[in-house]
Chains A and B, each alone.
Chain A
Amino acid sequence: MGLQNGYFRPTSVDEALDHLAANDLTIAAGCTDLFPATEQKTLGGPVLDISGITALRGFRKNETGITIGATTTWSDLIAAPLPSAFGGLKLAAREVGARQIQNRGTLAGNLCNASPAADGVPPLLTLDAQVVLASKAGRRVMPLADFLIGPRQTARRADELLEGVHIPASALMGDGQFLKLGARKYLVISIAMVAARLVIADGVVAEAALAIGACGPVAARLPKAEAALVGQPMDPGLINASHLQGYLAPIDDMRADAAYRTTVATELVQRILGRFAESRSA
């Protein structure tokens, strides 16, 4: 579908990039963040709707890793046969809104919306995710951690399309976990959340990736805590508050105060690690 009332719905990436090069456009995919941001009954234009580009949806695997297309939905993620390193991302997908949102909301939308409480980000950080940004000028790949600049701010240029998220082969090892803390069971914006991907060999942590969300302007990896785990037998008690220091910058909001977030962050990290300890003993 071409231009209609300032609404573009191309079927190919090239066509989308042409539009982006020529116009200042709002990119629409699942619209689960775009529509809630307005009371208007019609999306404010001009809009580039990328949901018709079939090439952008789904998973591609090669020797360099796995690429998840931009418009892959949370439900797609839940249903996909993926390595257990994606366990955290799959758990996060189940906790985004409820089924209605999971059926429409997309991974790229979650990243481009750049909420500090985006559920997809911490697990993707533990997967060393890279974003692929395409424009008429070519493609660039950057770590997700660099892509997210601040609340509602990303490194995407106006002429760029977030084409997909690449998980390098090196990050496909181990098991992923996700733990979300909210004030109700479903349909809840996180007070805080943690994700972990660990490679445990012979009871010893060989690789550790930990990330925390909603405890700062952007979700963050926890390198000190990761370092404290590597080379040790799996034990949540290895982590204490000092390992998180410097990586948290929480705010007071209607969901919780900053002091609380700081306190529970360590607890959440210990608990998510406890899941690995449990699964090992079981």
Chain B
Amino acid sequence: MTRVIVAGKHHRLASPPGRRLSEVLRDELDLKSVKVGCDAGDCGACTVLVDGQQVCACLIPIAQVDGATIETLDADDDAVKQKLQDAFLDHGAAQCGICTPGMMMAAVELLRTNAVPSRGEVETALAGVLCRCTGYAKIVDAVMGLSPRAEQAGDHAVGVSLRRVDGQAKVDGTEQFGADVGPADALLVRAVRAPYFHAAFTLGDIDAWASAQSGIEAVLTARDIPGQNRFGVIPPLADQPALAERVARYLGEPVALVVGTKDAVEAIDLSEFPVEWNPLAHTTTEAEARDGALLHTDRPENELICGRVVRGAPEEALKQATFVAEGEFQTAYVEHAYIEPEAGLAWMDQDTLVIHVCTQAPVMDRDDTALVLGLAPDKVRIVPTAAGGGFGAKLDLSVQPLIGLAAIVTGKPCRMVFSRNESMRASTKRHPGTMRAAIGADADGHVVAMRFDGDFNTGAYASWGPTVATRVPVHATGPYRTPNYHAEAHALHTNGPTSGAFRGFGVPQAAIMQETLYDDLAQLCGIDRLAFRRQNAFRDGDVTATGQTLTSVGMIECLDALRPHWADALQRADQHDAPHTRRGVGIASCWYGCGNTSLANPSTIRIGITPDGRLVLHQGATDIGQGANTVIAQIAADALGLPVDRFQLIGPDTHLTPDCGKTSASRQTFITGRAAEAAGAALRDTILRQTNFSDAAELRLDGGTLSVRDGSKVQKIDLGAPNKFGYALMAEETYDPPTSTLDENGQGTPYALYGYGAQIAEVEVDLTLGTTRVLRMVAAHDVGRAINPLLAEGQIEGGIAQGLGLALMEEFLPGRTENLHDYLIPTVGDMPQITSILIEKPDPNGPMGARGLGEHVLIPTAPAILNGIRHATGARLTKAPALPHRVLAAIQAAKETAP
């Protein structure tokens, strides 16, 4: 029997001696702040202190902690911990919050012996904990104890760097993620997954196998699915089975579920499951796709869809152009690598299936799960847990239909928690792209035409492939005037992992192609690279490649804000003198349309005041760490005219809260923000109508009493009886952005508003090792109106971290890098110093002028870094990531071709 001391209490542990400490802390001692992200010591989410030393609890058999004192974030017993909690809130250091407990415990170890650590000491202490949201900057600032950044709301909430309204649970370890909810004795669901990229299969004698195991309650296959075994985020193209039938199309596709008691199911060797595999020829790259066996018989040449935008006479214009830059660029599969693997719990509440799950799209989950399980949508209730990162991949179904099926069949609560390997096999990826483009400019350096053709590996199933194929041609010009244009993007099926949504929907890949060629053109034209971009940048009144006239474009403002930094960085690069390294500076821009492309995507916000004076905001924009809970509350507060701290939030539970759509496409601040603005204003109107006061009147909500003051006049509002939702006063408003469909040439208004930005990267490249260090980034983004500047900065820093990974290290190789030590994401030591500049050029369509930001921030990073490498070394890369061996080869190639 292992004995441990936790928070001063002695515990005797009944778990077996070889069990992972992380499991025992979570299950036996209910210390749920200990998060499990990888079970391999790669992510550090389970960092706890054992006798004062930070360790990964997932790597320790409990026998080894016999007699030890174990500290987790759960116990609020320590002054250092409490101070850190405040610091994390004051710096916005927790976004999704999944890494926060591990980060804080690592920091506690440091701060106990070193109260005022240097930046380097903090980085070394936190190096073992990965964060995918923040870019680490604010975490390091918080641990260093720098001056707080968060502000108090004054007369207004909008524009103020408030602490996150949902932050406390993230910093005290009580936040509940997908694996943290539900009863301890819930049944466990595990999936039997295909061990081949492509294989026909025959199920064997499952009943005999199941009866030979103990503790199994059900084994489920496709034939047990009561509804339509085909789902997809774009209904007309739905093609993905919840459980494969006869053929598995990608490595890791689920073919069966085993459901039973936790201990029993956990111990089963699923490789013994009775299924006979017959491997088939397979493809994993876009280059092989067209010639491969058809994955879906109705899609010739394995082409899912081709997106196309054509304007003017591009070929003629290219012929007449004084300068033409041409090239090809290839990008890799990129893994979202959120620290929280997919997890959820399903149970039957009478005839309603309730699913608690980490998700970005609760209503879509509800509808697709209902379809698969043959239920009416209102008989499925999705209750989103906190999401430990999403970045696009938690828009697709993962555990939902599987645990739903298990719960229906067994009638008991059923839990499924993906392992890291399972998560990396089964979740969607960023599309690998092979892109070819040519851009022409006239003698003065004005871009006259562009041709772009991209093949995107969309993997086995449709997922968001159509969105990528549509978004890429719309955006591939970059935020630059391109009067003549021809762009096509093809989404091609392979037996690789399904590519879906990943922060930017293909636009980050296209931006690498375009911005590489812009550096070529600037050089050909003999114009400074920033000036070249500035002279071609969109201005108010310019027309995009889809024929949309833009208003309120902040590109020039962004580039002008970067100008002094550009000059300084170029000078520093020039002056750098070291034996092995050269420094370089790169620049790139972005634009990105907020919301669905040419499709309706409304959000509805409900705000109510109960008879006893509670102010409730039904906030349906799923907060996956980006801050929607805070930003939407800030907008609602100012629109209504009550302080933000009066609001009680009800989250995106599909039974309680109207649909705010999915958290994707940088749409929540804009679209849900507009709905919140409208609902706040409508409720204010309702209240003011009970008075004869002017619109300038001031609302007050104190101790359950709502009153209105106008100058010296004060009127108490009678709250009266509740409506069917329980509110005495209520407003519910919907906003759907005005767009139009694109014609066969891609002409139309795909988005109601765009966000803009540009970034500078200062890099140092080792000329003989090919390694790259990003020293500084300066990012200027036109956010229209910064609803919460601190959260906006957090988005920029996090986007830069992911862009840096895309540029330098992230390459998902199916079947080979399905863990977080072979698949590398940036650590705290890889991040540059980041300067964020928020440009506020209000957009008339945005709530209080605000635009979306979440995806924009990632787009310019990779091309800016790659252009910086080229500036430093002459190496023109044609493949990302720029791993050291690729950079070195490109440096050598550049030397050989140099005149």
Binding site for B on A (CB under 8 A): 1, 4-7, 9, 28, 30-32, 35-36, 39-45, 47, 49, 51-52, 75, 97-101, 103-104, 181, 183-189, 191, 254-257, 259-260, 263-264, 267-268, 271
Task: Tell whether, in the assembled complex, residue A32 and residue B421 are in contact, meaning their CB atoms are under 8 Å apart.
Answer: no
Q: Is B315 interfacial (CB-CB < 8 Å)? A: no
Could you list 11 A-B pairs, sorted by A, with CB under 8 Å?
A: A31-B64, A32-B56, A40-B266, A45-B18, A49-B18, A100-B55, A101-B59, A184-B826, A186-B827, A191-B884, A259-B885
* Distance, CA A267 to CA B767, complexed state (A): 11
Identify the closest chain B residue to A3 (Cβ).
B17
Identify the closest chain A residue to B809 (Cβ).
A183
Task: Tell whether, in the assembled complex, residue B63 and residue A267 are in contact, meaning their CB atoms are under 8 Å apart.
Answer: no
Known contacts A184-B826, A256-B884; A35/B59 CB under 8 A: yes
* Distance, CA A177 to CA B822, complexed state (A): 26
The one of B40, B53, B884 that contacts A183, using a Cβ cutoff of 8 Å: B884
The one of A28, A183, A186 that contacts B128, using a Cβ cutoff of 8 Å: A186
* Distance, CA A40 to CA B42, complexed state (A): 16
Q: Is B23 interfacial (CB-CB < 8 Å)? A: yes
* Distance, CA A39 to CA B193, complexed state (A): 14
The one of A30, A45, A264 that contacts B768, using a Cβ cutoff of 8 Å: A264
Given contacts A35-B58, A187-B42, 6 further A-B contacts (CB under 8 A): A7-B63, A42-B18, A51-B63, A97-B128, A99-B109, A185-B830
Task: Tell whether, in the assembled complex, residue B19 and residue A42 are in contact, meaning their CB atoms are under 8 Å apart.
Answer: yes
The one of A4, A186, A189, A256 that contacts B127, using a Cβ cutoff of 8 Å: A186
Task: Note all chain B residues with C-beta closer than 8 A to A45.
Answer: 18
Q: Is B300 interfacial (CB-CB < 8 Å)? A: no
The one of B23, B60, B826 that contacts A41, using a Cβ cutoff of 8 Å: B23
Q: Is B499 interfacial (CB-CB < 8 Å)? A: no
Task: Tell whether, in the assembled complex, residue A183 and residue B59 are in contact, meaning their CB atoms are under 8 Å apart.
Answer: no
Task: Tell whether, in the assembled complex, residue B826 and residue A99 are in contact, meaning their CB atoms are under 8 Å apart.
Answer: no
Task: Tell whether, in the assembled complex, residue B41 and residue A32 are in contact, meaning their CB atoms are under 8 Å apart.
Answer: yes
Task: Output the least CB separation between B751 and chain A (Å).
Answer: 36
Task: Note all chain A residues with C-beta closer than 8 A to B60.
Answer: 31, 104
Known contacts A32-B41, A103-B55, A187-B128; A9/B816 CB under 8 A: no
Task: Note all chain A residues with C-beta closer than 8 A to B16.
Answer: 4-5, 7, 42
Task: Tell whether, in the assembled complex, residue A103 and residue B40 are in contact, meaning their CB atoms are under 8 Å apart.
Answer: no
Task: Note all chain A residues with C-beta closer than 8 A to B106.
Answer: 99-100
Task: Tell whether, in the assembled complex, residue B885 and residue A32 are in contact, meaning their CB atoms are under 8 Å apart.
Answer: no
Task: Output the least CB separation between A42 and chain B (Å).
Answer: 4
The one of A7, A35, A188, A260 that contacts B824, using a Cβ cutoff of 8 Å: A188
Known contacts A31-B61, A99-B124, A185-B830; A257/B885 CB under 8 A: yes
The one of A1, A36, A42, A100 that contacts B47, using a Cβ cutoff of 8 Å: A100
Binding site for A on B (CB under 8 A): 16-20, 23, 39-42, 44, 47, 53-56, 58-61, 63-64, 66, 106, 109, 124-125, 127-130, 266, 419, 421, 580, 768-771, 808-809, 811, 813, 816-817, 819, 821-822, 824, 826-830, 883-885, 888-889
* Distance, CA A7 to CA B266, complexed state (A): 19
Task: Output the least CB separation between B540 and chain A (Å).
Answer: 42
Task: Note all chain B residues with C-beta closer than 8 A to A260.
Answer: 770, 884-885, 888-889
Task: Output the least CB separation between A6 and chain B (Å).
Answer: 8
Task: Output the least CB separation between B273 and chain A (Å).
Answer: 15
Task: Note all chain A residues with C-beta closer than 8 A to B771.
Answer: 181, 183
* Distance, CA A260 to CA B829, complexed state (A): 24
Task: Tell whether, in the assembled complex, residue B884 and residue A35 are in contact, meaning their CB atoms are under 8 Å apart.
Answer: no
* Distance, CA A199 to CA B215, complexed state (A): 65
Task: Note all chain A residues with C-beta closer than 8 A to B124.
Answer: 98-99, 186
Task: Note all chain A residues with C-beta closer than 8 A to B17.
Answer: 1, 4-5, 7, 9, 49
Task: Tell whether, in the assembled complex, residue A101 and residue B809 are in contact, meaning their CB atoms are under 8 Å apart.
Answer: no
Task: Tell whether, in the assembled complex, residue A187 and residue B827 are in contact, meaning their CB atoms are under 8 Å apart.
Answer: yes
Task: Note all chain B residues with C-beta closer than 8 A to A103.
Answer: 53-55
Identify the closest chain A residue to B38 (Cβ).
A36
Task: Note all chain B residues with C-beta closer than 8 A to A44.
Answer: 18
* Distance, CA A183 to CA B809, complexed state (A): 6
Identify the closest chain A residue to B27 (Cβ).
A41
Task: Tell whether, in the assembled complex, residue B39 and residue A39 are in contact, meaning their CB atoms are under 8 Å apart.
Answer: yes
Task: Output the least CB separation between A251 and chain B (Å).
Answer: 12
Task: Note all chain B residues with C-beta closer than 8 A to A183.
Answer: 771, 808-809, 824, 883-884
* Distance, CA A111 to CA B884, complexed state (A): 27
Identify the closest chain B residue to A98 (Cβ).
B128
Task: Note all chain B residues with C-beta closer than 8 A to A101.
Answer: 41, 56, 59, 128
Identify the closest chain B residue to A5 (Cβ).
B16
Task: Output the least CB separation between A1 and chain B (Å).
Answer: 6
Identify the closest chain A residue to B109 (Cβ).
A99
* Distance, CA A41 to CA B827, complexed state (A): 26
Identify the closest chain B residue to A186 (Cβ).
B127
* Distance, CA A9 to CA B813, complexed state (A): 39
Task: Output the least CB separation between A46 and chain B (Å).
Answer: 9
Known contacts A35-B39, A183-B883, A185-B827; A267/B18 CB under 8 A: no
Task: Tell whether, in the assembled complex, residue A254 and residue B41 are in contact, meaning their CB atoms are under 8 Å apart.
Answer: no
The one of A4, A99, A184, A257 that contacts B809, using a Cβ cutoff of 8 Å: A184
Task: Tell whether, in the assembled complex, residue A254 and residue B813 are in contact, meaning their CB atoms are under 8 Å apart.
Answer: yes
Sort A-B residue pairs by CB-CB distance and give the 8 closest, nearest first.
A98-B128, A185-B829, A260-B885, A43-B18, A36-B40, A186-B127, A98-B127, A7-B17
* Distance, CA A181 to CA B770, complexed state (A): 10
Identify the closest chain B residue to A28 (Cβ).
B61
Task: Tell whether, in the assembled complex, residue B821 and residue A187 are in contact, meaning their CB atoms are under 8 Å apart.
Answer: yes
The one of B20, B768, B821, B830 that contacts A267, using a Cβ cutoff of 8 Å: B768
* Distance, CA A119 to CA B824, complexed state (A): 18
Task: Tell whether, in the assembled complex, residue B59 and residue A189 are in contact, meaning their CB atoms are under 8 Å apart.
Answer: no
Known contacts A31-B60, A100-B128, A183-B808; A39/B421 CB under 8 A: yes
Task: Output the least CB separation between A171 and chain B (Å).
Answer: 29
Identify the closest chain A residue to B130 (Cβ).
A187
The one of B64, B125, B821 that contacts A189, using a Cβ cutoff of 8 Å: B821
Task: Output the least CB separation between A184 and chain B (Å).
Answer: 5
Task: Output the least CB separation between B165 and chain A (Å).
Answer: 32
Identify the closest chain A residue to B49 (Cβ).
A103
Task: Tell whether, in the assembled complex, residue B66 and residue A1 are in contact, meaning their CB atoms are under 8 Å apart.
Answer: yes
Task: Output the least CB separation between A47 and chain B (Å).
Answer: 6
Task: Tell whether, in the assembled complex, residue B59 and residue A36 are in contact, meaning their CB atoms are under 8 Å apart.
Answer: yes
Known contacts A98-B44, A260-B770; A254/B61 CB under 8 A: no
Identify the closest chain A residue to B23 (Cβ).
A41
Task: Note all chain A residues with C-beta closer than 8 A to B826.
Answer: 184
The one of B18, B63, B127 that contacts A99, using a Cβ cutoff of 8 Å: B127
Task: Note all chain B residues with C-beta closer than 8 A to A256.
Answer: 883-885
Task: Note all chain A residues with C-beta closer than 8 A to B819.
Answer: 36
Task: Tell whether, in the assembled complex, residue B56 and residue A100 are in contact, meaning their CB atoms are under 8 Å apart.
Answer: yes
The one of B20, B41, B54, B824 that contacts A42, using a Cβ cutoff of 8 Å: B20
Known contacts A184-B829, A254-B816; A35/B41 CB under 8 A: yes
Task: Output the least CB separation between B432 and chain A (Å).
Answer: 15
* Distance, CA A256 to CA B40, complexed state (A): 23
Task: Tell whether, in the assembled complex, residue B54 and residue A181 are in contact, meaning their CB atoms are under 8 Å apart.
Answer: no
Task: Note all chain B residues with C-beta closer than 8 A to A181.
Answer: 769, 771, 884
* Distance, CA A98 to CA B809, complexed state (A): 19
Task: Note all chain A residues with C-beta closer than 8 A to B54.
Answer: 99-100, 103
Task: Tell whether, in the assembled complex, residue A41 and residue B884 are in contact, meaning their CB atoms are under 8 Å apart.
Answer: no
* Distance, CA A102 to CA B336, complexed state (A): 27
The one of A1, A9, A100, A263 that contacts B41, using a Cβ cutoff of 8 Å: A100
Identify the closest chain A residue to B887 (Cβ).
A260
Task: Output the least CB separation between A240 and chain B (Å).
Answer: 13
Task: Note all chain B residues with C-beta closer than 8 A to A264.
Answer: 768-770, 884, 888
Task: Note all chain A residues with C-beta closer than 8 A to B64.
Answer: 31, 49, 51-52
Task: Note all chain A residues with C-beta closer than 8 A to B53.
Answer: 75, 103
Identify the closest chain B residue to A274 (Cβ).
B579
Identify the closest chain B residue to A252 (Cβ).
B885
* Distance, CA A79 to CA B809, complexed state (A): 32
Task: Note all chain A residues with C-beta closer than 8 A to B811.
Answer: 254
Task: Tell whether, in the assembled complex, residue A5 and residue B18 are in contact, meaning their CB atoms are under 8 Å apart.
Answer: yes
Task: Output the least CB separation between A272 and chain B (Å).
Answer: 13
Residue of A4, A44, A47, A103 with highest tally of chain B CB at under 10 A: A103
* Distance, CA A187 to CA B38, complexed state (A): 14
